[in-house]
Chain A
């Protein structure tokens, strides 16, 4: 039987929210492929996780048929250098046809190298849908949203490694997943030393999970930015900026949305005074509904947006806040 393997990051004795979401998607994909779903958790050397342990129960409830426990010399931070060898050992054990990882900083570091090690295909943050024959189709927009890159898993004759964002709802599976613990401890890459944490980068981290984002572009003045920030609050969303705006120092770099900054997947994305450049919109999920506010009716952003308002931020944003029933 085919096998889908999901790397599930754990904190304490529970899978992270990222991991639960990816495991939920893995459950759906495995069911449609008629495959079994293995959750692989990397544990510390000497950790004892018996059947009935809270972690195993949680992974079973999140959809896993089998829980594979693999020990690594170093578990944190989640990087290829720390747990790559452990994940390779898991793949060699179960020979999956598909491996899923979270599209977070760790998954993006591990996924491509794991795919290369296995000689497989790699897909970053695709949408997953059923094709006309019931097959699983992975697709993502590229070139700033002009093109789709798509592939059906049944066309691949190599393993596929996929990073998924955590927008998926988790699913409910059986509680009684089977547990398999691999022998031995997998060495970490001694060439990479973890020195510790640098500065906190919390400011802007919430953008990656926000359902509503209001973003200010290069055409936004410091005064107009205050209005844009008020709109973000009125919408219950997060405030972001384009590269140009952040590099002008008007917002922290942690709030930059773009190919060189954060990637976001909101439901609603309100763009104030920003172009629709590939460097900017390339980092926005293709299923976000985009609203554009710009004084130039010919601005490129209106070709990407679903709805638009033509006018200045100073004129339109207070009206928008008022229409939302929130005092400006």
Chain B
């Protein structure tokens, strides 16, 4: 059994890494959860990313420092142009290659916030999936999940194989993962393995139609500086004129 941890470098713009956030908050949750499950089951944790080395190797190196036993990067052209399902197919092929029964991933990315890749991978692999997971615990062959439902938390038990889509870890959870803070490696890290499409059995030509189904990106017009107002009273006047507030006691 192997745990796959799906990571992705946070992007400030398409193709441009975010210099402030190496990993999005949910991917941090995936890293913490994946390492915890691997530790509890006594199995390997393999960090997986897809994309160019200059962008993704930084997150994979981080995963190795924090305790992952192996890191794999899928190197193939055009992955960034695929929609959620095309990317899921590429990642599912990589997960099959490393023979993972448990997959942890972020519930949603910091940039696109779609939250679709994890469930789509589960569909392609035929695994169970749960989204919006706040915390996990391993109970024999099951993973106990606490999930954020609507106005209440839901407790679920998921039998493996499964894809677990994680919300951000709490600060206290990071504290319980000393390696995540200290940067010490739990095992001797190997070099990052770069696999190409052929090595994971991926036919990129078949995925070409998934470049048209994600929509097109356009710059947002405007983005000008805010109108700086001289007083709080002027602000209230403006807000009232647009029926956004009303004066007087509630």
Q: List chain A residues, Cβ under 8 A from B83.
A: 121-122
Task: Report chain A residues within 8 Å CB of B112.
Answer: 142-143, 149
Interface residue tally of chain A, by bracket?
35 or more
Judging by beta carbons under 8 Å apart, are A319 and B231 in contact? yes
Among the 9-residue stretches B35-43, B53-61, B128-136, B194-202, the one with 4 or more Cβ atoms under 8 Å from chain A is B128-136
Partner of B235, one of A141, A234, A236, A323: A323
Residue A63 at the chain B interface, CB threshold 8 Å? no
Q: Is the CB of B149 within 8 A of A143?
A: no
A205 B225 Cβ-Cβ under 8 A: no
Q: Is the CB of B157 within 8 A of A109?
A: no
A116–B239 CB distance below 8 A: no
On whether the beta carbons of A124 and B215 are closer than 8 Å, the reply is: no
Q: Which residues of A, 45-59, contact B by the 8 Å Cβ criterion?
A: none
Q: B34 at interface (Cβ–Cβ under 8 A)?
A: no
- Which of B111, B120, B247 is within 8 Å of A324, CB to CB? B247
Q: Considering the chains assembled together, what is the distance between the CA atoms of A24 and B206 in angstroms? A: 37
Given contacts A143-B11, A282-B113, contact A80 B85 (CB under 8 A): no
Which residues of B have CB within 8 Å of A283?
113
> Does the CB pair B130–A105 fall under 8 Å?
no
Residues of chain B within 8 A (CB-CB) of A304 are 226
Measured CA separation A147–B117 after assembly (Å):
20
List the B side residues contacting A142 at CB < 8 Å: 111-113, 217
Q: Does A138 contact B (CB under 8 A)?
A: yes
Kindly report which residue of chain B lies nearest to residue A326, judged by CB atoms: B249
The main secondary structure of chain A at its interface with chain B is mixed
Docked complex: A132-181 residues within 8 A CB-CB of B: 138-139, 141-151, 155-156, 158
Interface residues of A (CB under 8 A from B): 77, 79-81, 104-106, 108-109, 111-113, 115-117, 119-124, 138-139, 141-151, 155-156, 158, 189, 191-202, 205, 212, 233-236, 243, 247, 253, 258-261, 263, 267-268, 277-279, 282-283, 286, 289-292, 297, 302-310, 316, 319-320, 322-326
Task: Sample 7 A-B pairs with CB under 8 A, ordered by A number.
Answer: A109-B119, A111-B116, A122-B116, A147-B219, A247-B170, A307-B228, A316-B232
B residues lining the A interface (CB < 8 Å): 10-14, 18, 20-21, 24-26, 29, 83-85, 88, 107-120, 122-124, 128-132, 142, 144, 146-159, 162, 167-168, 170-171, 212-220, 223-229, 231-233, 235-236, 238-239, 242, 244-245, 247-250
Task: Beyond the given A201-B153, A303-B226, please list 11 additional residue pairs across the A-B interface where CB-CB is below 8 A.
Answer: A105-B132, A115-B84, A121-B215, A142-B112, A151-B215, A193-B159, A194-B156, A199-B153, A259-B25, A283-B113, A323-B231
